């Protein structure tokens, strides 16, 4: 079936549904969605929407978070196998053992995690509010789950708490190296460098700005600068260029492509509508506990970045 034909079919079937798409999705998915955003923005939108059915174009934990926040809604993910390699880097047993080693610590869990890991946590965070979330806690010791890079970034910003990151990492962002950033600066000497906090500290330390994808969009829009080098998943430069005609966005490296985020194609979205697949279901007890951790995060007032 031709691309245009699929898009027409989707728009006919779409009534009473909303398509949400993460900023790392394929361009054609971003183009047919009702809302684009980072994981915090999409979680908030999913919770506030009055629509009964949400088609979530992202990876599994994101659609799961939408279902946890809105259990009364039907949440579909067009590819059930679109997972997150970072989320898979800690098991429930490992988290329970980690907690036993530090009984006085609060557990802060990045939303890139499964529902059962969230359910075992005190509070969730995203890449845009991680520092704020950790600062909001009274505990002096924090177990930061599962991303060591985001954990180390938070650690660099907070000196009055002991932050102990888990050993996980995002393989997509881990591919960006210091050599990449130095080469990109030489190639585009007038450009400002924005990187995601899932990058390693040596990359973060060399950047001009460290931001979530939502933060990158906001900064690019409001900035007087006209040229940027972008250090995150490749889908982001499409979104930035689309939203900011007249400004230039270069990939810091061609390497960071998230194979999971790129799994969803237009035909999968059409199949989601036609076959009502794949429904996200979360165990009631796990959902209740995970919602507590997500709500605790959503109750914190957002930074202005």
Q: Which residues bind ligand SF4 (CB under 6 A)?
A: 59, 84-86, 112, 170, 172, 233, 258, 260-261
| Distance in Å, CB of 64 to ligand SF4, minimum | 13
Strands 141-145 and 53-57: unpaired
Shortest Cβ 172–ligand SF4 spacing (Å): 4
Residue 21 bridge partners (DSSP): 36, 57
CB of 62 to ligand SF4, least distance (A): 8
279 three-state secondary structure = strand
Query: DSSP assignment of 118-176, as one string?
Result: HHTSSEEE-TTTHHHHHHT---SEEEEESBHHHHHHHHHH--SSEEEE-SB--HHHHT-
Q: For residue 219, how far is the Cα from the chain centroid? A: 17
Distances (CA, A) of 115 to 200, 255, 256, 299: 26, 29, 26, 19
Record the tokens describing residue 175, joined without a space.
Answer: 């591919």
> How far is 225 from 202, CA to CA, in rounded Å?
24
Give the residue with the Cβ less far from ligand SF4, 35 or 102.
35
Q: Closer CB to ligand SF4, residue 170 or residue 207?
A: 170
Output the smallest distance, CB 160 to ligand SF4, in A.
28
Shortest Cβ 127–ligand SF4 spacing (Å): 9
Rounded Cα gap, residues 215 and 34, in angstroms: 20
Count, residues in the chain: 305
Minimum distance, C-beta of residue 103 to ligand SF4, in the bound complex (Å):
29
Q: Which is nearer to ligand SF4, 120 or 260 (CB)?
A: 260
In the complex, minimum distance from the CB of residue 151 to ligand SF4, in angstroms, rounded to a whole number: 14
Closer of 246 and 254 to ligand SF4 (Cβ): 254
Peptide bond between residue 278 and the one before it cis (omega within 30 degrees of 0): yes
Q: Residue 298 and residue 300: Cα distance in Å, rounded?
A: 5
Q: Which is nearer to ligand SF4, 105 or 176 (CB)?
A: 176
Measured distance CA(129)–CA(134) in Å, rounded: 9
């Amino acid at each position: 079936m031709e691309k245009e034909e699929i898009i027409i079919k989707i728009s006919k079937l779409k009534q009473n549904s909303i398509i949400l798409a993460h900023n790392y999705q394929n361009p054609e998915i971003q183009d047919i969605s009702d809302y684009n955003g980072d994981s915090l923005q999409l979680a908030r939108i999913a919770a506030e929407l009055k629509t009964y059915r949400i088609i979530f174009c992202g990876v599994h934990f994101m659609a799961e978070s939408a279902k946890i926040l809105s259990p009364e809604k039907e949440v579909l993910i067009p590819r059930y196998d679109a997972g997150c390699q970072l989320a898979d880097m800690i098991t429930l047993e490992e988290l329970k053992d980690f907690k036993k080693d530090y009984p006085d610590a609060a557990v802060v869990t990045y939303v890139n995690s499964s529902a059962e890991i969230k359910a075992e946590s005190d509070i969730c965070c995203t890449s845009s509010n991680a520092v704020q979330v950790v600062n909001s806690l009274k505990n002096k010791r924090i177990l930061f789950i599962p991303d060591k890079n985001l954990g180390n970034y938070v650690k660099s910003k907070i000196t009055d708490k002991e932050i102990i990151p888990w050993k996980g990492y995002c393989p997509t962002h881990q591919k960006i190296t210091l050599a990449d950033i130095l080469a990109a600066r030489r190639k585009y000497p007038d450009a400002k460098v924005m990187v995601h906090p899932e990058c390693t500290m040596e990359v973060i330390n060399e950047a001009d700005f460290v931001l979530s994808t939502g933060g990158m969009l906001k900064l690019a829009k409001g900035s007087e600068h006209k040229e940027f080098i972008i250090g995150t998943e490749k889908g982001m430069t499409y979104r930035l260029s689309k939203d900011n005609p007249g400004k230039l966005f270069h990939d810091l490296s061609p390497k960071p492509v998230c194979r999971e985020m790129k799994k969803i194609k237009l035909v999968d979205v059409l199949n989601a509508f036609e076959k009502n697949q794949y429904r996200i279901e979360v165990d009631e007890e796990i959902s209740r506990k995970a919602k507590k951790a997500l709500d605790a995060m959503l109750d914190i007032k957002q930074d202005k970045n």
